[in-house]
Structure 1
Amino acid sequence: MSVERISLAERARVHAALGDVARLAIVDALVVGDAAPGELGALLEMPTNLVAHHLKVLEEAGLVVRGRSEGDHRRTYVRLVPQALSRVGIPPLPPVPRVVFVCTHNSARSQLAAAIWARRSHVPAVSAGTRPAERVHPRAARIARRRGLDPDTWRTSQVNDVVKPDDLVIAVCDIAYEHLPAEARPRVHWSVPDPAPADTDAAFEAAYEEIAGRIERLAPLVAPSKKMGTGR
């Protein structure tokens, strides 16, 4: 009985948290990507103190968590808790011709994301970096092969040379998101920790799992537009 009571109490708290128009709007905004509190305020035309109040309620209900940026350490990003998605209505996204995954060096996270996406969606995907490295990280290539992906054709590219109008740009790291060119719209942010500093297979596996889980949730919401992009 105690387990049932806890479960009912948690569910009631979630429903109560979502029973406010502003909080539901915040959750909708976080379904496809992470955002700083200030970005949520600007998007929803909501004052800072009101955003802070609603985020506190959502945090207490277990719907969102905060993490500090790996780029600008003064910044925090809010993200939706994946387990809460089953209790949240997911809004559809407009059709897009192509998805572009971006990270700083285009050597691991963005390459893995584009490859995973290709197995999950008919919408074309490519990857790029804001400061691309000369080569793909060896551990990323190893994890890719272990997961049945083929990294032999992966090459690093500069984001300005890749992104086209109407591409859906998904930044899979904080630093890249904070340095994307202004014209790279529409954009989504996934705050995936950089596995390179740890430089262990476990860190790269964790990044793979995080990206794969996000793609699993997002891919069904993204439909191809009539103007299909081409891979690169």
Structure 2
Amino acid sequence: MTTEGLWSVERRAEVHAALADVTRVQIVDTLATGDMASSELCARLTIPTNLLAHHVLVLERAGLVRKERSEGDRRRSYLRLVTDFGGHLLPRSVIPAQRVVFVCSRNTARSQLAVAAWTQRSEVPATSAGTHPAERVHPGAVAAARRHRIPLRPQPPRAVGGLVQPGDLVIAVCDNAHEELPADSARLHWSIPDPVPAGTDAAFDLALDQIRQRIDRIAVTITPATQPAP
């Protein structure tokens, strides 16, 4: 049974009331594919900060949106969608991509796990890179993939510079990487906690679980792009 099927009449009414505004629906639509800072949302929706704050507060009170502190710039917070509404209330827009490039800072865990999980859900090719690549993939990531029966083929960590090609969809699965990369409205950002500092199985399992939830949410919206003419 889906989460939506378990909601009471009162809960469903609360959600619909929170979404009874065009701007709030636009916020939910935007956060359906990635996390954003308030300043990024204001720029995307072209609305003033005070108006965004009002609408975000309504969505927070309804339990639909949550703010979390950036692991990179601690002065910044990211807004993220809490629920997927059973997949019925979110947009199904199509995003063409020749390839998906998952990026984190060290290219040792989150981005490598994302490629492995993505390959199970989509035929669109995927690869990974880092803003400051380490020497090797973290063994905790390999162990997490093994526990969850995801075929992870670790690739030597590499730098994102020069890797991204026209037609690629870049998804930053790391606050640090998102904040270091050049501003790009087409890039998606998933604020996934870094499991490396803790180094525990639980930390790697949590990161992988959040990655898989995001992939399940958007994989059907990513379609192979037509190869550009030479």
Cα separation, 2, equivalents of 1:45 and 1:207? 32
Cα separation, 2, equivalents of 1:147 and 1:9? 36
Cα separation, 1, equivalents of 2:97 and 2:185? 11
Question: 2:32 matched to which residue of 1?
Answer: 31
- What is the letter of the counterpart of residue 112 of structure 2? Q
Cα separation, 2, equivalents of 1:85 and 1:37? 25
After superposition, residues 209-220 of structure 1 pair within 5 angstroms as 209-220=209-220
Q: Which moved more, 1:98-107 or 1:83-92?
A: 83-92
Question: 1:74 matched to which residue of 2?
Answer: 75
- What is the letter of the counterpart of residue 147 of structure 2? R
* 1:78-130 per-position Cα deviation (integer Å, ceiling 9, x unaligned): 00112435452323132111100000000000000011101110100000000
Question: 1:3 matched to which residue of 2?
Answer: none
Question: 2:134 matched to which residue of 1?
Answer: 133
Cα separation, 1, equivalents of 2:123 and 2:84? 26
Question: 2:4 matched to which residue of 1?
Answer: none
Cα separation, 2, equivalents of 1:11 and 1:145? 38
SS at match of 1:227: coil
SS at match of 2:170: strand
Asked if the contact 1:169–1:185 (Cα under 8 Å) also holds between the matched residues in 2, the reply is no
Cα separation, 2, equivalents of 1:206 and 1:78? 19
% identical equivalent positions: 54
Asked if the contact 2:112–2:154 (Cα under 8 Å) also holds between the matched residues in 1, the reply is no
Question: 2:114 matched to which residue of 1?
Answer: 113
After superposition, residues 167-182 of structure 1 pair within 5 angstroms as 167-182=168-183
RMSD: 1.7
2:171 is equivalent to residue 166 of structure 1: no
TM-score (norm 1): 0.90
SS at match of 1:101: strand
Cα separation, 1, equivalents of 2:154 and 2:140? 15
Cα separation, 2, equivalents of 1:77 and 1:167? 24
Question: 1:62 matched to which residue of 2?
Answer: 63
Shift of residue 227, structure 1, vs aligned partner: 1.6
Asked if the contact 2:84–2:90 (Cα under 8 Å) also holds between the matched residues in 1, the reply is no
Q: Which structure has the highest helix share of the two?
A: 1
- What is the letter of the counterpart of residue 32 of structure 2? V
Cα separation, 1, equivalents of 2:119 and 2:128? 11
Question: 1:156 matched to which residue of 2?
Answer: 157
Distance of aligned partners of 1:227 and 1:127 in 2 relative to their CA distance in 1, 3 Å threshold: same
SS at match of 2:97: coil
Asked if the contact 2:167–2:225 (Cα under 8 Å) also holds between the matched residues in 1, the reply is no
Asked if the contact 2:116–2:153 (Cα under 8 Å) also holds between the matched residues in 1, the reply is no
